[in-house]
Amino acid sequence: MLTYFMAFEQKRIGIFDSGIGGFSIWKELIKELSGHQFFYISDVPNSPYGNKSSQFIRQRAEVLSNELLKEKVDIILLACNTATAEAIDGLRDKFNVPFVGIEPFVKSIESLDLGENNIRPVVLTTRAMHDSVRFKELILKFDKDKILTPHACDNLASLIEVAYKKGLDSVEKEIEEELKPLRDKNYTHAILGCTHYPLISDKIARYLNVECISPCLPVSKRVAYILKAGPIDSRTELYFKTSNQENFETFSPALLSLK
């Protein structure tokens, strides 16, 4: 079967996150925009953002955006719910490049059949996102029927970072302990309000007996829409560095998953 590509211009896409959570959305982006160039900065020395102050997060977001702009990126994706909540408005005011953020996919409740009495969604977020003004505004805007239960997971993002380095088995009990307050509460859906969480969505779904809802695919489509771009007949180039590295290095797609 022949594959046809439209004549899109190759784009340079910048991404940053506090750690490896952005891998969940990067996996969707390289499908939606294959053949383009991706530059990912992981702010590992300061991970996670979920327990940091608003001022600190805004400062880091500005530093990382400047680093990506040195690579002449066409767009910057904040692959972090917490950074989006705290920093995206200021970044849009300061820099002349499009910014796309990622937020808890609260809007997804519009697609649920709320006529069914047993629909009970819970929104899993970091503490900083849970306490942010932006999150409260999302809830007020989309949860008119007050069916959502927001829940802050204080340590889940950090545990997923460890799981990526050492394997899920190394912290599985701790992850279950973090999720335990939500078990046997008859929730039907878990809206994943941190980009780390989709990396263990299968684990969350099994342990809580819920359907997980992730914003990664809709956000990837949003990036493509803003760039007016799609797949092109070229090699997808992935470049990665942590915030304490000077230069980007070529990155293997095989590493975009937990061990």
> What pTM value is reported for the model?
0.85
What is the C-alpha to C-alpha distance for residues 125 and 106, in angstroms, rounded to an integer? Answer: 11
Band (222; pLDDT cuts 50, 70, 90): very high
What is the C-alpha to C-alpha distance for residues 188 and 9, in angstroms, rounded to an integer? Answer: 42
Listed range (31-40, 105-114, 193-202) with the worst mean pLDDT: 105-114
Mean pLDDT of 59-72: 97
Whole-number CA gyration radius for the chain:
18
Mean pLDDT of 74-93: 94
123, 148 contact by CB (below 8 A):
yes
pLDDT recorded at residue 1: 45
Q: For residue 259, is pLDDT > 50?
A: no
**CA nearest to 54, candidates 130, 128, 150:** 128
pLDDT recorded at residue 4: 46
Of the residues 80, 153, 212, 216, only one is catalytic, namely 80
Bridge partners of 85, per DSSP, are none
The proportion of the chain whose per-residue pLDDT surpasses 70, expressed as a percent, equals 90
Q: What are phi and psi of 103, to 5 degrees?
A: -130, 160
Mean pLDDT of 216-223: 92
* Residue located via tokens 């239960």: 149
pLDDT recorded at residue 254: 59
pLDDT recorded at residue 116: 59
DSSP 10: P
80 is known as an active-site residue: yes
Mean pLDDT of 9-36: 91
Sorted by where each starts, the structural domains of the chain and their CATH numbers stand as: 12-102+217-255 (3.40.50.1860), 106-215 (3.40.50.1860)
Of the residues 153, 194, 212, 216, only one is catalytic, namely 194
Q: For residue 96, is pLDDT > 90?
A: yes
Chain-centre distance of CA 202, in angstroms?
16
Summary mean pLDDT of the chain: 88
Q: For residue 3, is pLDDT > 90?
A: no
pLDDT recorded at residue 2: 43
Mean pLDDT of 41-51: 87
212 is known as an active-site residue: no
What is the C-alpha to C-alpha distance for residues 8 and 21, in angstroms, rounded to an integer? Answer: 28
